[in-house]
Amino acid sequence: MDLPIYSFVSLSIGLLVGVGVVWVILRTRIAAEVRVKTENQVEIARLHERLIASQEDVKRLVIQHADLQTQAILWRDQLDVARDERAQLAERADRVPKLGASLEAATQEISTLKQSIADIREKVGRVNSTIESQAEHVVQLQQERVTLTERSDLLTRDVNLLNMQVSELTMTLEAERKQSQEKLQLLIDAREQLSNQFRSLAGEILEDKSKRFTEQNQMNIGALLGPLKTQINEFKAKVEDIHLKDTEQQATLRAELNQLKDLNRQITEEAHGLATALKGQSKMQGNWGEMVLENILDRSGLRSGKEYRREVSFNTEMGRSRPDVIIYLPQMKHLVIDSKVSLNAYTRYVNAEGEIERQLALKEHVAAISSRIKELSDRNYFELPSLNSPEMVFMFIPIESAFVEALRADETLFQKAMEQNVLVATPTTLLTSLNIVRQLWRFEERNAHTAELAERAAKVYKKLNTFLGSMEGVGKQLDKAKDSFNMAMSQLYSGKDNLIKQANDFKKLGVAVQGTFPDNLLAKAELELEHLPELPEQENIPLE
C-alpha cells in the first residue's frame, strides 16, 4: 500500500515538474518572439499586451505550482514518516482525491494556455506575412515612383524641346510674314505708281492728240491700249491672288504648328507601343521603321515624287547605293534620310526585369547606334552623282525614348554624331524639319510668282515705253502731214492764178463741165483775189 501511494505521489510531482519546465520553456520562447515582433509592428504590440495578460495568468499558475511543490515536499516528508505513522497516512489518504481534482484542473488550465500560445503564434505568423507583403508592395511602389519620375523628366524635356521648336518656327514665321508683307507692299506701291504713270501719260497723250485724231485713229489707239489694259488687270489680279494665298498659308501654318505637339505625341506613343510589341524581330523592326518614316512624310505635306523620293538607286564605282529617302530642296539641293537602325537591344532594355540585364542591354543599344552612325558616315552620300547634298545625313530613330535613353547613357553621343556628319532625328525633330522644308517650297513658289510679276512688270514697262515712242512718232507724222496738207490746200485757192480760179474760168469760157467746186473753196479763192494789189490800166491804142 505504501508503494502505490508513493508512486502516485511521485508521478504527480514529476508531472507537475514537467509541466513547469514546459511552461518555462514556452514562456521564454514566446517572450523572445513577442519582443522581436513588437519592435516593428503595432499589431504585435497589441498581441504583446495580450501575452502580458497571459503571463500574469501564468505567474498565478507558477505561484500555485510553487505551492504544489511545497506541498509535494511536505508529502514526501510525510511519506518518509508514513512508515511509522500509517494511521496518520490513512487519515490523510482522504485528501488524495482532492489533490487529483486539483491536478486535473491544473492540467486543463495548462492545455488552455497551450491553445492560447498556439493562437498567439498563428496570429504572429499572419502578422509576419502581412508585414512581408506590405514590404514587397512598398518596394514595388518605390520602383513605380522611380519609373514615373523618369517618364515625367522625359516628357518635360520633350515638352521643352517642342516649345523651343515652336518658338523658333513662330519667329521664322513672323520674319517671313513681315518680309512677305514688305514685298507685297512694295508690289502694291509699284502697281499704284505704274497705274498713276499710266493714267497720267494716257491723259497727257489723249489731251494733246485728241483734237488731231480722227475716229479711225481713236479706234487704233483703243486697239493699242486694250492689250495694255488687259496686262495691267492681270498684274493686279496676280498681286491680289498672291496676297490672298500668303494670308491663307500663314493661317494654315499657325494651325499646323498648334497641331504639331499632339501629332508628335501620338507618333511617339504609337512608335513606343509597336516597338515593344516587336520584341527584337529585326525584319519587322526594319519594315515598321520605314512605315513610321513614310507616315511622317505623308503627314508633313510633302508630295511623293516631287518634294521627296523613296529608295532612289545610284551607280557608283563601289557598286550600287540606295538611300532610304531623298528630300528635294529649292535650288536643286537635296537631303538624305536613313531609317535602318537596329532596336533589338532597346527592346531587351525595355523588357528586362533585372537592373543588371537592363544596363547590359542599354550599353548594347548605345553601341548599336554608335556603329550605325559610323556606318552612315563612311557611306559619303554627298559624293553620289547628280546629288547636291551637304556632308550631312539624317539618321532616323522611330522611337523618341530610344534616343533619349541612349543620350542618358552617353551624353556625348549627339556631339559625336555631328562630328561624323550624321544628324540623329526622331519623329518630333524630323517632322519639324520636314515642315520647314515644306515652308521653304512655299516661299520658293511665292518668290517665283514675285519674280514672274517683276518680269511681267518689266515687260509692261518696256511695252509702254515702245508704245510712247510710237505715239510720239505718230504725232510727228501727223504734224508733217498737216503741214503738207496746208501747203497743198494753199496751192488750190491761194494766189492770182490758183487752180480753183483757173478751173472755174474754164466754165465761164463755155467749157462743158459736170458739177461744180465746193462753195467754201470758191469763196476762199475769191477772197484771196480781193486781197491782191490792183495793176495800172492800159490805154486802148487804135490800129492803123
Region 97-105: mean pLDDT is: 70
Identify the pLDDT of residue 404: 86
Region 15-29: mean pLDDT is: 74
Which of 281-285, 297-301, 315-319 has the least mean pLDDT?
A: 281-285
Identify the pLDDT of residue 417: 86
Contact (CB, 8 A) for 386 and 144? no
Q: What is the DSSP string of 197-260?
A: HHHHHHHHHHHHHTTT--HHHHHHHHHHHHHHHHHHHHHHHHHHHHHHHHHHHHHHHHHHHHHH
Identify the pLDDT of residue 535: 42
Identify the pLDDT of residue 70: 77
CA 398, CA 295: separation in Å to the nearest integer?
11
Region 455-475: mean pLDDT is: 73
Region 229-236: mean pLDDT is: 63
Please tell me what DSSP assigns to residue 473: H
pTM score over 0.85: no
Contact (CB, 8 A) for 349 and 405? yes
Region 82-108: mean pLDDT is: 66
Q: How confident is the model at residue 539 (pLDDT cuts 50, 70, 90)?
A: very low
Tens of pLDDT, residues 365-409: 889 888 888 888 887 777 777 777 777 888 888 888 888 888 888
Tens of pLDDT, residues 46-61: 666 777 777 776 777 7
CA 282, CA 323: separation in Å to the nearest integer?
19
Phi, psi of 319 (to 5 degrees): 125, -155
pLDDT surpassing 70 at residue 38:
no
Identify the pLDDT of residue 534: 47
In 3D space, the residue among 329, 407, 415, 401 whose CA is nearest the CA of residue 366 turns out to be 407
Identify the pLDDT of residue 536: 44
Q: How confident is the model at residue 430 (pLDDT cuts 50, 70, 90)?
A: confident
Which of 122-136, 242-256, 471-485, 529-543 has the least mean pLDDT?
A: 529-543
Identify the pLDDT of residue 544: 35
CA 173, CA 432: separation in Å to the nearest integer?
13
Which of 240-244, 312-316, 419-423 has the least mean pLDDT?
A: 240-244
What is the grid cell recorded at 477?
Answer: 507724222
* Distance from chain centroid for Cα 503: 100
In 3D space, the residue among 300, 289, 302, 407 whose CA is nearest the CA of residue 338 turns out to be 289
CA 202, CA 225: separation in Å to the nearest integer?
9
What is the separation, in whole angstroms, between the first and last Cα of the chain? 242
159 contact partners, CB below 8 Å, separation of at least 6: 261
What residue has cell string 533589338? 344
474 contact partners, CB below 8 Å, separation of at least 6: 209
Q: In what order do the strands lie in the sheet with 333-338?
A: 308-310, 325-329, 333-338, 393-396, 422-425
Identify the pLDDT of residue 543: 34
CA 250, CA 175: separation in Å to the nearest integer?
12
Higher pLDDT, 479 or 4: 479
Angle (nearest 5°) at CA 351 between 375 and 268? 65
Angle (nearest 5°) at CA 146 between 145 and 150? 115
CA 120, CA 5: separation in Å to the nearest integer?
39
Helices 355-379 + 344-351 axis angle, to 10:
160
pLDDT surpassing 50 at residue 532:
no
CA 364, CA 405: separation in Å to the nearest integer?
12
Tens of pLDDT, residues 186-201: 656 655 654 455 455 5
pLDDT surpassing 70 at residue 304:
yes
